[in-house]
Amino acid sequence: MGDTFNNYGQVGAMGKKAVAFQNTFSQEDRKTLETISEQDLAKLKVLINKLMDFDEAKLRKAEALRGAACLLEIIEAYQSSETETQVEALGKWRLWVNGLKEVSLGFLAVTADILTVSLPVLKLLGLSTL
């Protein structure tokens, strides 16, 4: 009998010793990046500042600084218009977000909501479902 692998989303390779090279993922992310406005960029910069002015009880200083660096990398990647750099920057941000504790995620989501970050950008950052 063989192994069973379930895919509930997008996958490039699946199974034992599976390998995927030069696949194109995140088409929706690229579309969102193409539609980011100057207002969206300004709000992301404010979010960076909010992260830098962290509340130690909700977000450790090291976590806040890493998050701010990831957001800045997303902005710089957007401005460079290099697709690979954009995908890499988003990947780093999402890895950071996935490592946060629930309290920190809540703080981040509420802060983004207060700043009225647009829904497409919230989705891009993985904060729209929090």
- Average pLDDT, stretch 95-104? 86
Domain regions of the chain by residue span: 30-125
**How many Å apart are CA 59 and CA 68, to the nearest integer?**
12
Q: How far is CA 83 from CA 23, 71, 107, 130, in A?
A: 13, 16, 30, 27
Which sign, positive or negative, has the C-alpha torsion 112, 117, 122, 125?
Answer: negative
> Per-residue pLDDT tens for 45-54?
888 888 888 7
> Per-residue pLDDT tens for 22-63?
454 566 777 777 778 888 888 888 888 888 887 676 678 888
> Per-residue pLDDT tens for 64-92?
889 899 999 999 988 888 878 888 888 89
Which sign, positive or negative, has the C-alpha torsion 107, 108, 114, 119?
Answer: negative
Provide the pLDDT for residue 76. Answer: 92
Record the pTM. Answer: 0.70
pLDDT at 4 over 80: no
Residue 1 token pair: 């009998």
Provide the pLDDT for residue 22. Answer: 47
DSSP 35: T
